[in-house]
Amino acid sequence: MSLLKTIREKALSNRALRSEVLDDSYFRVAPSDLRFAGITLALWQKRLLKALTDTAVDADAVDTRWVQNVWHVVDSGWVRKFCLGGEKSVLHSLKTIANAKPVARQELYHEFCRQNKVGKMLDGGGNFRDIGDLPEFTPELADAVKKFFGRCYALLSHNKKRNWNGYEFNGNRCITNHAYKDAFCSDYPTKAVCPYCDGEIGTPELDHYLAKSGFPLLACSPWNLIPVCKSCNDTVTAKGDRPAITLGPPRSTDDWLHPFFRPASAQVRIELKGTRQDAIPQLHSPDSAEQIRLSNHEGLIQSLSKRWTNVATAHLEVLIPQVKARLNAENSVKSLVNTKLEDHLASRGKEASSMVRAAVCRAFLDGRPGFFEEFDNPNAPVLD
């Protein structure tokens, strides 16, 4: 039995979790049991928000003991450390939420549950609502919610001085952002390839696909934390806080990709538009709906074209001497470049930048201006 199937069956056989699983489609993309820990974290948050919907909740009583009662199956010592933090303590935010009107607390709980069903949300068109637009929400309440989930995300980091090891679970399991990245990148494609740019992932960084500044309810969601390369996580030259969503209302996701639930299809490729001197790499799909999503993705990660251009130029400089060195009566430029193209297509998702390198080969084979001229050699075999 596969690890993924074992994890899924273990979760669904647990009575407490079975009634609370937020999005069953999550298990279709979970690469390890650390992703299972991620869904458990989301359930812990859900239970806190559910407890805050009680009309009899007293903000003054929302303290460490109150949190321990809600998380009664969690180690009490760990809960105490979770509630520490001085002015940054989650207790301040929880008290503010407890003081809000009952309608606002109910709406917050329901919106959290709704947004964390990411797969179903995407299938239904999205509309990840702005929490500031929820009924009876005040700026103070919205700020408290953002601080609470922001603090929960900050606690994913390991802190040796505080003896903080991240989120600890039964069975000596824990989850930190470092462990999450390691688990996610333990297999292809993210073992070698960044899901945003198809480039080398290197030492991955965690990116919130929907920025936590605008989508705080997903700050710790395992469906929204994407290990990406350093370049794609640059706040200035790449995505930053730009939303991967069509601003509304409704805030629709119909025209956007999602790394887990709506990745680019196998028919997507990179094409080099223009001559060799001014070639512009662009994503292309024969499907019109997917093409809109690809164009939005290029606008979202604004440094893609420049980085792809650099990769294409470098690959061209390598490809030309490789092909020339093998030219003979039996091997034409076309056959050699076509073999290279097949190699790049076969390595997609396993070798960084295979899509850009394939685009360079296609430019040769399509007779794009400035590409075949590199083989202007009177002694070279005639192209067939």
Q: Residue 284: which H helix or E strand, with range?
A: strand 280-284
> b/e string for 278-290 if b means 16 or more Cβ within 10 A?
ebebbbbbeeeeb
> b/e string for 200-230 if b means 16 or more Cβ within 10 A?
ebeebbbbbbbbbebbbbbbbbbbbbbbbbe
Neighbours of 188 (CB within 10 A): 11
Residue spans per domain, the chain: 3-228, 269-375
d(CA 3, CA 283): 34
For 154-210, how does the pLDDT look when each residue is reduced to its tens digit (9 = 90+)?
A: 998 877 777 788 887 766 677 777 777 776 677 666 778 999 999 999 988 889 999
Q: Residues 6 or more apart from 276 whose CB is under 8 A from it?
A: 316, 363, 368, 369, 370, 371, 373
Q: At 272, which amino acid appears?
A: L
Tokens encoding 49: 């928000």
For 99-115, how does the pLDDT look when each residue is reduced to its tens digit (9 = 90+)?
A: 999 999 999 999 999 99
Is residue 356 within 8 Å of 315, Cβ to Cβ? Answer: yes
d(CA 228, CA 303): 14
Q: What is the DSSP string of 22-46?
A: S-GGGGGT--SHHHHHHHHHHHHHH
Query: From its phi and psi, is residue 126 left (phi > 0), alpha (psi between -120 and 50) or beta?
Result: left
Angle at 22 between CA 14 and CA 68, to 5 degrees: 65
pLDDT in tens, the chain (384 residues): 333 333 334 434 444 443 444 444 444 444 455 556 667 888 999 999 999 999 999 999 999 999 999 999 888 999 999 999 999 999 999 999 999 999 999 999 999 999 988 888 888 888 889 999 999 999 999 999 999 999 999 998 877 777 788 887 766 677 777 777 776 677 666 778 999 999 999 988 889 999 999 999 999 888 888 889 999 999 888 888 888 999 877 888 999 999 888 999 999 999 998 778 888 999 999 999 999 999 999 999 999 999 999 999 999 999 999 998 998 888 898 999 999 999 999 999 999 999 999 999 999 998 888 777 766 554 443 334
